[in-house]
Amino acid sequence: MITGSATTVDSLSWQEQLATSIRDPKELLQKLELDPALLDGALAAHSDFPLRVPQAYLQRIERGNPNDPLLRQVLPLGTELLATPGYSNDPLEELNANPVPGLVHKYHGRVLLIVSPNCAINCRYCFRRHFPYGDNKPGRSEWQQALDYIAADPSISEVIFSGGDPLAASDRQLEWLTSQLEAIHHVKRLRIHTRLPVVIPDRITDHLLQWLGDSRLFTSVVIHSNHPNELDENTRNALVRLRNTGITLLNQTVLLADINDAPRVLGQLSERLFECSVLPYYLHQLDHIAGAAHFAVSDELARSLHRELLATLPGYLVPKLVRELPGIPYKMPINLQHAP
């Protein structure tokens, strides 16, 4: 990992850390002392889906190691530009479930709000890397259409803040939107899907904890961590603060080739998540988004890995093995097959 770096995040606010994220592939390669031969492919893929890596995350990546599991999640590669049959720009057909700007309604009883079009970090396997955020970033005055949609459907009991990353939005904006949802009687739960507590732990501010803790809505935060090396002590402290506010913490992991497709890594991830007050929730098979085929893991290996977790961990530390398919109103479990 990087130590003694000239760049420190200790004195920067989370907003400043967002603003100073690395967005230049050449700078990333130089800071991590990586082979310059990687630059041409990185620049080509960066032009299709931009690089974005916060300094706080960079400092957990091992210098000089092109196979570092955190680096592989964020480094653009020329292979992303190869067309792969079965991979598309909208593999979950979310545009068919986008009735008003900023709102996605795929599942019974819950809707997803695109609270922010931006992320703190651009994961190369992101299933929304081609999502039309330009058409789905309403301002405060335009949110009324989405709020009216929710108010008109009494079956909606849960609202999910998503994006992008919803915690890339300001506390002021999030607090206002939450207050509007609290005024809708049939909305009972708020869920926030975010990677920010992992990549910029300083995002968990006193103000954030205050308005989350004061909400009448039953609140859960679903983080996204794929490797135990992501969960350093700063991240643990941020997550424990969230849990101490009474918020339920869950984690979703994407199964990724040569990053976490080993039982030892997944087992360590589950153990470390629990040390951070987080329960493993889902282990996702990769969504077939164009540009991410090189991350795919076979179902046979996925089942084998999941069986190993079941055999070595207590049940509450074993995430559900699932995939998401267009038109299916739930996460599809990947059934285990007993080894012969």
Cβ atoms < 10 Å from Cβ of 220: 17
Query: 267 in helix, strand or coil?
Result: helix
Cα–Cα dist 282/320, whole Å: 5
The Cα–Cα gap between 114 and 162 comes to: 5
In one-letter notation, the amino acid at residue 303 is: R
> Which amino acid would we find at residue 307?
R
Residue type for 89, please? N
Predicted confidence pLDDT, tens digits, the chain (340 residues):
544 343 467 789 999 999 999 999 999 999 999 999 999 999 999 999 999 999 999 999 999 999 999 999 999 999 999 999 999 988 888 777 889 888 999 999 999 999 998 899 999 999 888 877 666 666 777 799 999 999 999 999 999 999 889 999 999 999 999 999 999 999 999 999 999 999 999 999 999 999 999 999 999 999 999 999 999 999 999 999 999 999 999 999 999 999 999 999 999 999 999 999 999 999 999 999 999 999 999 999 999 999 999 999 999 999 999 999 988 888 999 987 544 3
Q: What is the pLDDT of residue 3?
A: 40
42: exposed, middle or buried (C-beta count within 10 Å: 0-12, 13-18, 19+)? buried
Backbone phi and psi for residue 287, each to the nearest 5 degrees, phi listed first: -75, 140
Find, among 190, 142, 189, the residue nearest to 162 by Cα.
Answer: 190
Please give the pLDDT value at position 134. 62
Predicted pLDDT of residue 217: 98
pLDDT score, position 7 = 45
Nearest to 114 by CA among 96, 132, 141, 127: 132
Q: Is the pTM of this model over 0.85?
A: yes
